Amino acid sequence: MMARRALATLALAICGLVAATAATAAGTDAERARFRQAYATAQQQGGDTWRAEAKGLESYVLFPYLEAAALEHDLRTLDRARADAYLARYPGLIPAADLRRDFLGELARRKDWTTFSAMYQPGLGDNLSCFALQAKLARNEPLVFESDMAALWKKPSLPNACDPVIAAAHDQGLLTADRLWSRIDVAASAGRGGTVASLAPWLPPTDAPAAQRIGQALNDPAGALRDASDWPDTPRHRQALTLALQRMARRQSTAADAAWQSLRSRFTLTEQQRDAVENALALFHATDFDESALERLAALPPGAQTDATREWRVRVALARQDWKAALTAIEALGESQKDDGEWRYFHALVLAKLGRQAEAQALYRAVAQEATYFGFLAADRIDAAYAICPSTMATDEAREAALLSDPGLDRAFELYAVGLQKLARREWTAALAGRDADTKRLAADLAFRKGWYDRAVFGLSSGDALRLYEQRFPLARQDGVVEQSSQAGIEAPWAYAIIRAESAWMSDARSAADARGLMQLLPGTAALVAKRNGLAWAGGGSLYEPATNIVLGTRYLAQMAARYNGAPWLASAAYNAGPNRVDQWVEARGTLEPDLFVASIPYKETREYVARVMAFAVIYDWRLTGNALSIASRMTPFGSTYALPGNGAVRKPVTCPAPAVAKPAPPTPPAVMEPEPAEASSAPAAQEPRQ
């Protein structure tokens, strides 16, 4: 009997190994449908119920994911034998690595340190590293700081699993004052006031108050500055004061300035600390556009200047339309900053405002060679064609076949086909790790042809690949962008541009603010849009369906546009930062020309977002029609109403000048809730209006 069971187990293991390593053919529609059903059953019920639904899928490339899903469901009751059997059948596969990690976490929860230690492997993250140290403590083995904790100690924050380990290290006398201060400094530099506060009580009584005040400076800078008049003038208290002033400057520059004037004579700050304070005060007075901002930035000593302060000196001067001050500020930029397209464009603009037309025209012509926001603005200034130089990829059938037969990429493409996009991206990343650039570009092109557009966007983001506009700016008409834009009363190129900037066509994108899907809508916002437009609403999960997301997203875009006289550029800013913020900026600086207004937006993310969307709208317009409306036509001045272009709208010609255009910057990733980047998440949410 036992022999028969052993043979059956061996046969099952062999079948599993064959399935993991030999199955590389693309799945059929029938296989994919059966997999989805079996996977749902495995996730929801665990056990072996899924096996009946998966009969015949044993050689399907995604079969290992089915058992892994069932085992993850059964984690609380899982025993080592079942876990080990799966790990032995599928060594090296992502679901096996996940199962090991999650089962180790479960063993730690059970405090089964014997089994944990037998299965543990280093390199699985700080959480499991600290559980491994807890296992060591459970064996009554002392900690060794250098081998056990030195690497962890350099981290500004650690998971809760590390708390018992740190407490044990303290009890064993390993946390000397020097070691405590070293981690406090790391945490303070990262703004982790909680870490500082947790370590302060372990310092000697003479040191603890200073550490507590560093923590207070980070957590409650206003309170720290109120109390600072009673602090002694010691090096650590100077550190706390510097941190409190920098933190307060970001929140309330005027209050920070008043505190600095009151306290500066009481504390003997180092030159570096004084520079840091003066830098923060000048920078955040600038982002608040205070009256003294320009003069403060210009008066900063060299040691207090940074790229940010030099840049904001230009922005404030432009917002004031003080062209001489703007020119001086541009000339004071760092050399690498001067090469940036933004500052070359504004250098030309300022020269033109000062009557130096020949110099301005030459600069505009140079910038207009670039297929970027500033390149398009420059082209409009001199009435030049837009410089867009498309390219195509050469076919290589042999290399394509080799890639398609790669087991990791095969799993990636199949996971995408069955709708498991997050897992698909993980397999994709693992399969292409260490591959050469040409191979990665070829894989990205294959993904594009299979409709997996976000892999093309991110995989073709440098060098000559930037000219692969078909792949980098997919039209994806099947999702109804053109039709829904028309029904919502907005332009399709703008809607396409928003999608491209928000999610880069990652339909399962989710931001830290819980914005979801292609157009990154918050569930609450989407529900209101649906109600306002008489549309069906099936809950937040429906926002991951492209068609639903686009229907609601285009209506929300139309709502934002209506708020700003139809202006796509202002509506884009509101889509990113929220309309209330944009209203504040318009009230403060609503007389500026659009390009100057965008340059004055205090939020770096929103500035870059508006520029990106406006440039993408030009490119998508060109892709849809062969030419493009001018970027200036979409950036209507304040007080003007934007009218949708009719059939006779004047469009800009698009040419490919010689020499080849300068290459635009690669896409900016959004904050999605996973390591995989997406391009710019921007649900309306609170942002720091800084730099």
The CATH number of whichever domain residue 433 belongs to comes to 1.10.1240
**534 with 598, same domain?**
yes
| Tens digit of each residue's pLDDT (9 = 90 or more) over 243-275 | 999 999 999 999 999 999 999 999 999 999 999
pLDDT band for 682, please (50, 70, 90 cuts): very low
Average pLDDT value for residue range 560-571: 97
The answer to whether residues 595 and 349 touch, using CB atoms and an 8 Å cutoff, is yes
pLDDT at 625 over 90: yes
**15 with 111, same domain?**
yes
pLDDT score at 658 = 61
Cα–Cα dist 439/7, whole Å: 42
Percent of the chain with pLDDT over 70: 91
**213 with 75, same domain?**
no
If 0-12 CB within 10 Å is exposed, 13-18 middle and 19+ buried, where does residue 13 land?
Answer: middle
Percent of the chain with pLDDT over 90: 89
**624 with 497, same domain?**
yes
By three-state DSSP, how is residue 213 classified? helix
If 0-12 CB within 10 Å is exposed, 13-18 middle and 19+ buried, where does residue 38 land?
Answer: buried
Q: Do the domain assignments include residue 139?
A: no
pLDDT band for 612, please (50, 70, 90 cuts): very high
**103 with 181, same domain?**
no
Of 369-378, 503-512, 532-541, 641-650, the range with the lowest mean pLDDT is: 641-650
**636 with 491, same domain?**
yes
Last residue of one domain, picked from the residues 207, 239, 269: 269
**439 with 499, same domain?**
no
The counts of H helices and E strands in the chain are 39, 2
Q: Do the domain assignments include residue 300?
A: no
Q: Do the domain assignments include residue 433?
A: yes
pLDDT score at 297 = 97
What is the number of alpha carbons within 13 Å of residue 639 lying toward its C-beta? 5
Q: Do the domain assignments include residue 111?
A: yes
Provide the number of structural domains found in the chain.
4
* Buried/exposed code over 170-196 (b: 16+ C-beta within 10 A; e: otherwise): eeeebbeeebbbebbebbbeeebbebb
pLDDT score at 647 = 84
pLDDT score at 25 = 54
| Tens digit of each residue's pLDDT (9 = 90 or more) over 386-410 | 999 999 998 889 999 999 999 999 9
What is the domain range of residue 182?
176-269
Q: Do the domain assignments include residue 286?
A: no
**489 with 585, same domain?**
yes
Cα–Cα dist 452/470, whole Å: 13
Average pLDDT value for residue range 266-290: 96
Q: Output the average pLDDT for the chain.
A: 91
Last residue of one domain, picked from the residues 244, 269, 294: 269
pLDDT score at 350 = 98
- For the chain, the farthest-separated pair of C-alpha atoms sits apart, in whole angstroms, at 97
Residue 511 is encoded by which pair of tokens?
């931001």
Q: Do the domain assignments include residue 632?
A: yes
Average pLDDT value for residue range 372-385: 97
pLDDT score at 18 = 38
The CATH number of whichever domain residue 530 belongs to comes to 1.10.530.10
| Tens digit of each residue's pLDDT (9 = 90 or more) over 189-216 | 999 999 999 999 999 999 999 999 999 9
**Is the previous residue joined to 659 through a cis bond, with omega within 30 degrees of 0?**
yes
**571 with 431, same domain?**
no
Last residue of one domain, picked from the residues 420, 449, 467: 467
| Tens digit of each residue's pLDDT (9 = 90 or more) over 302-323 | 999 999 999 999 999 999 999 9
| Tens digit of each residue's pLDDT (9 = 90 or more) over 129-163 | 999 999 999 999 999 999 999 999 999 999 999 99
Of residues 676 and 663, which shows the higher confidence score? 663
Q: Do the domain assignments include residue 64?
A: yes
* Buried/exposed code over 354-386 (b: 16+ C-beta within 10 A; e: otherwise): eeeeeebeebbbbbbbbbbbbbbbbbbbbebeb
pLDDT band for 672, please (50, 70, 90 cuts): very low
**482 with 573, same domain?**
yes
| Tens digit of each residue's pLDDT (9 = 90 or more) over 12-71 | 443 443 344 334 456 899 999 999 999 999 999 999 999 999 999 999 999 999 999 999
Q: Do the domain assignments include residue 287?
A: no
Average pLDDT value for residue range 325-352: 97
| Tens digit of each residue's pLDDT (9 = 90 or more) over 470-481 | 999 999 766 799
**47 with 184, same domain?**
no
Of residues 151 and 662, which shows the higher confidence score? 151
pLDDT band for 423, please (50, 70, 90 cuts): very high
pLDDT at 345 over 90: yes
Q: Is the pTM of this model over 0.85?
A: yes
pLDDT score at 667 = 46
pLDDT band for 659, please (50, 70, 90 cuts): low
**417 with 483, same domain?**
no
